[in-house]
Structure 1
Amino acid sequence: MQKIPLTLAKPGMILAKPVTRPDGIAVAAAGSELSQNILDRLDSMGVSHVVVEGEPVRLDGSPGGTSYDKRLERLEFLFRRYPDDKWMGQIRRLLDHYFRMKAAASAALFEAAKAASQPEPAAAPTEPAKTKDA
């Protein structure tokens, strides 16, 4: 789930949380698929952010899905006060593994999407099959 500016929301994204007015009334339910009409309506209502499923937008400027690499970098800092605590060490290792797997999956999805968007090279012309004239 990711909170993104409405300007980055695209048709087809799925809301992870309902969008509500300032008085608390829901104007779009969680699980709703965004369409251009809904995006325009939310914009006219002054909605600035929406929470969508997954992490379709990389907010640190790089293309792709998530910032798991940045989360990995922060683990050392976050667990700095517990160098000898076995329980906290186990949690840190689990988080490290989780973020590495998510980063790898995200990179694989990004590469697959990039490969799918590139046009296929034109096939080399082939010579017609030669037939035997009897």
Structure 2
Amino acid sequence: MQKIPLELARSGMTLAQPVSRENGITIVGEGVELTDALIDRLQGMKISRVVVKGNPVQLEGGGASAFDQRLSRLDHLFRGYADDQWMRKVKAFLTNYFRLKAAAQAAAEAAEVEEEAVEPQDEQRSEKDAE
């Protein structure tokens, strides 16, 4: 089970927990398979995160983004608070936050690269059609 930003959700993933609004009303039940239309609808409802089955998104980055660099510094920043329960919770929250942000950034960059790769193919097709 993995809680991921809705931007990283893909068609075919299965919900591990129901998706609810802030007021507690369930929008989509547990076990429902996500589709592109459902993801678009959830984005329109301002849903930011979903919990999906398994671990479909790799949250460990390659260290290239600013979020990965911040994540790598957390151990150093919290080194003096090993016995403080509150600070351990803060560190765990920040670790999860930076992992999600790094994964979202990596996914956005990958989508951008994929989109750039598709554009030249479309141009080649239109040139062939013009001939």
Q: Structure 1 length as normaliser, TM-score?
A: 0.45
Which structure has the greater CA radius of gyration? 1
Higher relative contact order (CA 8 A, sep 6+): 2
More helix by share: 2
Give the TM-score, by structure 2 length. 0.46
